[in-house]
C-alpha cells in the first residue's frame, strides 16, 4: 500500500482534498492543481464554494486567471460535500484556530474537520494538519480520533503536521517557493507527506516529529511578537526621553551583523502573530511553565492602541481641541497594508477607544466599504481634498500604498502617523509621529 501511494504521488494520480479555503487553503489548493494534481477544495461556507466554482477568487494571493486555468483543466473544484473524502488519497486541513474569549486555544474547527475525515476515511490516506496550534495537537487530538475504530497510524493511514507559512501580499515569497516544514507521527508519514509536498513546493524540510513541526511555527511567530513588543517598548521609552525612535532604528540597522530591524506600530494584527504565541503560552502553563517573554510582549503590544489614542488626544490639545467631539479619521483598518483582512487589526481597538473618548469617528480603507465593530456601524469616508480638510485629526493606522499621502499632508490639519509612512515629508507642523 505504501509503495502504491508513493507511485500515485509521483505519477500525479493522487487526489488531494483541502479542507478550509481561506488564506492558507486556497493558495495551497491552486499550487497543487498547477502542478498536475486533481484537487478538491472542501469548505462549509456555501458562498465561498459558489464563488470559486464560478471562477471568482476572493484571496489576494490567488489570481483570477490562475484559478480559471486550473478549473478549465479540470484540476480544481470546490464543494461542501465531505463525503468526497472517500475518493481522496491525501487530505490537508487548513481551518482557523482562533482563541476563546478566555485566551485559551479554540481547536473546535480542527476537531470538526477530523470528525468529518474519520466519517469518510479509507485505508491508505495521508492526513496533514496545517492549521497553527499548540505542540501536541496532531498526536493528542487528531490521532485518537483517527485510530478510534482500530486503524493504525503508519500502517493503515499516515498522519503529519506541516505549519502554514503564508504572508499575504508578499510579492517575493508564495506557497510554492516558501520552504515547507513537515513532521509525521511515524517515519513513513514524514516520508510520504514530504514526497507529496515536494511535487508542488520547491523546498521541503522534514523534522523528527509532529510536535517539533508544531513548535517551529510557534517559535517563528513568538520571535516576531517578542521583537515587536521590544521595539514598541523602546519607542515608548524614546518618547519619554525626547528621542526619535525611527532614527535610532535606522542607525542601528547599519550594523551588518547581530541586529535585525523591527519597527514600532499601533499594535499587532492578523491571523498569526497576536494569536499563535498565546497557544504556546497556554501549553506552557498546562505543563507548569510560565512564558514570561510572550506574556510581556503581548501586554506591551495590546497597549499600543491606547498609546495611539493618547498621542492623538495630546496632539489635538496642542491645537486647542479636546478629543471629545473632534472629527477623527482612522486611515486604514486592515491589519496589514494592501490586504483585505480585519482579523485582530489594532485599528478596531483604536476606533473603540476613540468612541469611548466621544470623538466623532470616520474611517477610510480602500478594501472595506462598511465597518461594523460591536455597536459601531460606519460607512467608508471619502478621501478627497475637501473631505480631508474637514477632519481635526487623521490617524494613519494602516499604510495602504494606494493612498495619496502628498495630498494628505497638504490638506490635513493634523496627522498622527503610526507607521512612519510620512518620513519623506520631513518635520511638517501637522505631522505627529508615534
Distance, in Å, from the CA atom of 102 to the CA atom of 321, rounded to the nearest integer, reads 38
As averages over each run of 10 residues, the pLDDT of the chain (434 residues) reads: 94 97 96 97 96 93 94 96 97 92 88 96 96 95 96 97 92 95 98 98 98 95 94 95 95 97 92 82 89 92 96 95 97 94 93 96 96 89 96 98 97 97 92 92
Residue 419, Ramachandran bin (φ over 0: left; ψ between -120 and 50: alpha; else beta):
alpha
Are 362 and 192 in contact by the 8 Å Cβ rule? The answer is no
Distance, in Å, from the CA atom of 29 to the CA atom of 18, rounded to the nearest integer, reads 6
Q: What is the CATH number of domain 234-433?
A: 3.40.50.720
Place of cell 477544495: 41
- The pLDDT value recorded for residue 276 is 83
Tell me how crowded residue 163 is: count the other CB atoms within 10 A of its CB: 25
% of residues, the chain, pLDDT over 90:
88
- The pLDDT value recorded for residue 30 is 97
Q: Among 67, 57, 73, 5, which Cα is nearest to 31's?
A: 67
Q: Among 391, 263, 382, 252, which Cα is nearest to 325's?
A: 391
Are 60 and 168 in contact by the 8 Å Cβ rule? The answer is yes
Cell numbers placing 59: 484571496
Distance, in Å, from the CA atom of 190 to the CA atom of 212, rounded to the nearest integer, reads 12
Q: What is the pLDDT of residues 284-330, one digit of tens each?
A: 888 899 889 999 999 999 999 999 999 999 999 999 999 999 999 99
Superfamily of domain 2-208: NAD(P)-binding Rossmann-like Domain (3.40.50.720)
Cell numbers placing 285: 502553563
CATH 3.40.50.720 intervals, the chain:
2-208, 234-433
Helices and strands (H, E) in the chain, number of each type: 16, 15
The arrangement of strands across the sheet holding 360-364 comes to 360-364, 327-331, 393-396, 415-417, 431-433
Helix axis angle, 187-198 to 2-10, nearest 10°: 10
* First CA to last CA distance, the chain: 60
CA dihedral 372→374→376→382, nearest 10 degrees, is: -20
Are 242 and 187 in contact by the 8 Å Cβ rule? The answer is no
- The pLDDT value recorded for residue 272 is 78
What's the longest Cα–Cα distance across the chain?
A: 77
Q: Among 36, 122, 117, which Cα is nearest to 87's?
A: 122
Separation of CA 365 from chain center: 19
Q: Which residues have a catalytic role annotated?
A: 272
Cell numbers placing 201: 513546493
Q: What is the pLDDT of residues 155-191, one digit of tens each?
A: 999 999 999 999 888 889 999 999 999 999 999 999 9
- The pLDDT value recorded for residue 400 is 96
Q: Among 286, 279, 344, which Cα is nearest to 132's?
A: 279
Place of cell 500500500: 1
- The pLDDT value recorded for residue 192 is 97
Q: How many residues in the chain?
A: 434
Are 182 and 195 in contact by the 8 Å Cβ rule? The answer is no
Are 42 and 84 in contact by the 8 Å Cβ rule? The answer is yes
Q: How far is CA 68 from CA 71, 77, 166, 186, 236, in A?
A: 5, 10, 22, 37, 49
Give the CB-side neighbour count of residue 211, counting CA atoms within 13 A: 5
Amino acid at each position: 500500500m505504501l509503495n502504491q501511494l508513493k507511485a500515485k504521488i509521483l505519477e500525479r494520480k493522487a487526489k488531494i482534498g483541502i479542507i478550509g479555503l481561506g488564506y492558507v487553503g486556497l493558495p495551497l489548493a491552486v499550487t497543487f492543481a498547477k502542478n498536475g494534481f486533481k484537487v478538491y477544495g472542501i469548505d462549509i461556507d456555501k458562498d465561498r464554494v459558489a464563488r470559486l466554482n464560478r471562477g471568482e477568487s476572493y484571496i489576494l494571493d490567488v489570481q483570477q486567471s490562475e484559478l480559471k486555468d486550473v478549473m478549465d483543466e479540470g484540476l480544481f473544484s470546490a464543494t461542501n460535500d465531505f463525503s468526497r473524502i472517500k475518493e481522496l488519497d491525501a487530505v490537508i486541513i487548513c481551518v482557523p484556530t482562533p482563541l476563546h474569549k478566555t485566551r485559551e486555544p479554540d481547536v473546535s474547527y480542527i476537531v470538526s474537520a477530523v470528525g468529518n475525515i474519520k466519517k469518510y476515511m479509507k485505508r491508505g490516506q495521508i492526513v496533514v494538519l496545517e492549521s497553527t496550534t499548540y505542540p501536541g495537537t496532531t498526536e493528542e487530538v487528531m490521532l485518537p480520533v483517527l485510530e478510534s475504530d482500530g486503524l493504525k497510524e503508519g500502517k493503515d493511514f499516515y498522519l503529519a503536521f506541516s505549519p502554514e507559512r503564508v504572508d499575504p501580499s508578499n510579492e517575493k515569497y508564495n506557497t510554492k517557493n516558501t520552504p515547507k516544514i513537515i513532521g509525521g507521527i511515524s517515519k513513513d508519514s514524514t516520508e510520504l507527506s514530504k514526497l507529496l509536498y515536494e511535487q508542488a513546493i520547491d523546498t521541503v524540510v522534514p523534522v523528527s516529529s509532529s510536535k517539533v513541526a508544531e513548535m517551529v511555527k510557534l517559535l517563528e511567530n513568538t520571535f516576531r511578537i517578542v521583537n515587536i513588543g521590544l521595539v514598541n517598548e523602546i519607542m515608548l521609552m524614546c518618547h519619554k526621553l525626547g528621542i526619535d525612535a525611527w532614527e535610532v532604528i535606522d542607525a542601528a540597522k547599519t550594523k551588518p551583523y547581530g541586529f535585525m530591524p523591527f519597527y514600532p506600530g499601533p499594535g499587532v494584527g492578523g491571523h498569526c502573530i497576536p494569536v499563535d504565541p498565546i497557544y504556546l503560552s497556554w501549553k506552557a502553563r498546562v505543563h507548569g511553565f510560565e512564558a514570561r517573554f510572550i506574556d510581556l510582549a503581548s501586554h506591551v503590544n495590546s497597549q499600543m492602541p491606547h498609546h495611539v489614542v493618547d498621542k492623538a488626544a495630546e496632539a489635538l490639545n496642542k491645537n486647542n481641541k479636546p478629543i471629545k467631539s473632534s472629527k477623527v479619521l482612522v486611515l486604514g483598518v486592515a491589519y496589514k497594508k494592501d490586504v483585505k483582512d480585519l482579523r485582530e487589526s489594532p485599528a478596531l481597538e483604536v476606533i473603540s477607544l476613540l468612541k469611548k473618548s466621544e470623538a466623532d469617528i470616520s474611517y477610510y480603507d480602500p478594501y472595506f466599504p462598511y465597518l461594523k465593530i460591536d455597536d459601531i456601524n460606519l460607512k467608508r469616508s471619502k478621501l478627497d481634498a475637501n473631505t480631508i480638510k474637514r477632519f481635526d485629526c487623521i490617524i494613519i493606522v494602516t499604510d495602504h500604498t494606494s493612498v495619496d499621502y502628498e495630498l494628505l499632508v497638504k490638506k490635513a490639519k493634523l496627522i498622527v502617523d503610526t507607521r512612519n509612512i510620512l518620513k519623506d515629508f520631513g518635520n511638517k507642523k501637522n505631522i505627529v509621529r508615534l
